[in-house]
Amino acid sequence: MAFFLLRSILLVVAVGTVTAQVTRRYQFDIQLANVTRLCHTKSVVTVNGQFPGPKIFAREGDRVIIRVNNHVQNNVTLHWHGVRQLFSGWADGPAYVAQCPIQTGQSYVYNFTIVGQRGTLWWHAHISWLRATLYGPIIILPKLGVPYPFAKPDKEVPIIFGEWFNTDTEAIINQALQSGGGPNVSDAYTINGLPGPLYNCSAKDTFKLKVKPAKTYLLRIINAALNDELFFSIANHSLTTVDVDAVYVKPFDSNTIIVAPGQTTNVLLRTKPAYPEAQFLMMARPYATGQGTFDNSTPALPSLNDTNFVTTFTNKLRSLDSSEYPAQVPQSVDQNLFFTVGLGTNPCPKNQTCQGPNGTKFAASVNNISFAMPTTALLQSHFFGQSKKVYSPYFPISPLHYFNYTGTPPNNTLVNSGTKLMVLDFNTTVELVMQDTSILGVESHPLHLHGFNFFVVGQGFGNYDPQRDPPKFNLVDPVERNTVGVPSGGWVAIRFRADNPGVWFMHCHLEVHTSWGLKMAWLVLDGKLPNQKLPPPPSDLPKC
């Protein structure tokens, strides 16, 4: 549980200015820094010695250039989470998918343009568990002269949820993968890198937001936690949700919101008119639907497994669908796909004791394929026609074996392993249904698709019914996202247009599930016209 203070005082707010549509340049030096939390000091990987990392500011339409210099012993890549990366797949960042890692002493320049997006996104490391400390916000303002479609706030504040581990996260996941069991949980949740006053030895490490009475604040909320969806609330205040994943939504009020790892939510906070020197707690706690041990928390927020609240909240999310910001939902579908997502097992190697279910190793899969990461980048292999022995272009469009997905699980929980890509022609419209399974227990999975936004046209519990469920789909104003939770013991249906050539990762944003193999990749082929083709890679593209 993380608690934070909102203090009501008079404050002079400085208003900054941002120039119009420019090229914005940043230098990110990956370096070690000593950070102390909970009376534990450790050396962590940071950008420019900052934890959390620096903010990136841009306006819709701006070009962003970030030079990344790696000064640590770890291989590193950075991902600009939620940025569409239209025709700039070389800048997307996931290791061994879009690029080879940036090795010690090497540099790489990420170069992309913000197209048709405004709101809050974020950046983070995309290799192993380095994103535990390598993350920061991306603030995208509207074009100059274009107002928000809601009341202009008096101030804007990034609020980044994270997790603090007293020990080295790389050692934690390496030990878990070796033993086959679940990894150790974090020692604290954080907001803007600070655990809050209810943890031991943390009274001074509390994020305090100083506010003026009767003012409106835009909170740019990011869930950068490794393995937990989080509820968030501010005592005695309601929050108005106006934007998710850098897409405007129809505003609605609630006392609590839910944000999955990878997701962002912009909310308006209207402070009380007359509470001088009052302090209000800001609270975050996990939403946990799977098995395992979780961090300490209190009953001030929805219960750990309050799926009803999560369902009610997510059903309120609707695209703004105005004349300025229409919801361009594909009304026809070229390719229907059905993916099962969930946990499973791998056999324990001979002469080894494993800590997974019944002496096995934990695994995770999509359509029972646990994704095996290649040793060279998929996008590079595809672009240069060197895909042989790197990947297969035959990812299954539906499960190879049908069963009662949310009923009694099958006796055989073993998964297959492979590096298979789902290949799409340029401009294909896709409907994808993702179905949770009860193998080793039902669980919510926040799935993130790189390179695209998608529309969440339907969701439900139990097994998806291809006859009964599609007539209920919302094809008018469904929410548009880049990360969506597959409901615990249920399914979600999304639609998108494959208008971005390249190789695009899709994975669970619970980092432990990604490590276990709950990931896959899409290959979107070039179109026929010159402006429908992926440009060649930059000259400084890292080599494996």
Q: DSSP character for 490? A: E
Asked if residues 135 and 162 have their Cβ atoms less than 8 Å apart, the reply is yes
Domains for the chain: give ranges and CATH numbers.
23-141 (2.60.40.420), 155-316 (2.60.40.420), 335-532 (2.60.40.420)
Task: Say what the pLDDT of residue 422 is.
Answer: 98
Burial of 376 (0-12, 13-18, 19+ CB in 10 A): middle
By C-alpha distance, which of 446, 397, 387, 462 is closest to 424?
397
Decide: 99 and 262 in contact? Cβ < 8 Å: no
pLDDT at 309: 85
Angle CA 398–403–406, to nearest 5: 100
| Whole-angstrom distance, CA of residue 337 vs CA of residue 507 | 16
Q: What is the DSSP letter of 523?
A: E
pTM for the whole structure: 0.94
Q: Minimal CA–CA distance to 226: which of 180, 161, 283, 296? A: 161
Dist CA 241 CA 239 (whole Å):
6
Whether 59 contacts 18, CB under 8 Å: yes
**How many Cβ atoms are within 10 Å of 7's Cβ, its own excluded?**
14
465 and 369 in contact (C-beta within 8 Å)?
Answer: no
- According to DSSP, residue 174 is labeled H
The DSSP-derived string for 416-484 is EEE-BEEEE-TTEEEEEEEEE--TTS---EEEEETT--EEEEEEEESS--TTTSGGG---SSB-EESEE
The label of the residue with tokens 């050396």 reads: 43
pLDDT score for 197: 87
Q: What share of the chain is helix, strand, coil (3-state, %, to 5)?
A: 10, 40, 50
Please give the structure tokens belonging to residue 543: 């080599």
Task: At 499, list the tokens.
Answer: 């208008």
Element (H, E) at 504: strand 502-508
Contact (Cβ atoms closer than 8 angstroms) between residue 420 and residue 395: yes
CB 39 within 8 A of CB 78: no
Quick one: 137 exposed, middle or buried, by C-beta within 10 A (0-12, 13-18, 19+)?
Answer: buried
pLDDT at 7: 43
Distance CA 106, CA 446 (A): 33
Tokens standing for 309? 């609240």
Longest dimension (CA), the chain: 68
Q: How far is it, in rounded angstroms, from Cα 331 to Cα 291?
A: 39
* Both structure tokens of 539: 């000259």
The first and second tokens of residue 242, run together, are 């106006």
How many Cβ atoms sit within 10 Å of the Cβ of residue 291?
11
- pLDDT by 10s per residue, the chain, length 544: 554 444 433 333 333 444 456 999 999 999 999 999 999 999 999 999 999 999 999 999 999 999 999 999 999 999 999 999 999 999 999 999 999 999 999 999 999 999 999 999 999 999 999 999 999 999 999 999 999 999 999 999 999 999 999 999 999 999 999 999 999 999 999 999 999 888 999 989 999 999 999 999 999 999 999 999 999 999 889 999 999 999 999 999 999 999 999 999 999 999 988 776 778 888 888 887 654 333 333 355 777 778 888 889 999 999 999 999 999 999 999 999 999 999 999 999 999 999 999 999 999 999 999 999 999 999 999 999 999 999 999 999 999 889 999 999 988 999 999 999 999 999 999 999 999 999 999 999 999 999 999 999 999 999 999 999 999 999 999 999 999 999 999 999 999 999 999 999 999 999 999 999 999 999 999 999 999 999 999 999 999 9
Alpha-carbon separation of residue 405 from 78, 122, 409, 418, 469 (angstroms) = 35, 34, 7, 22, 16
The CA-to-CA distance between both ends of the chain, in Å, stands at: 40
Q: How far is CA 538 from CA 27, 110, 181, 374, in A?
A: 17, 9, 40, 21
Pairing of strands 78-81, 40-47: unpaired
Nearest of 498, 495, 502, 487 to residue 533 by alpha carbon: 502
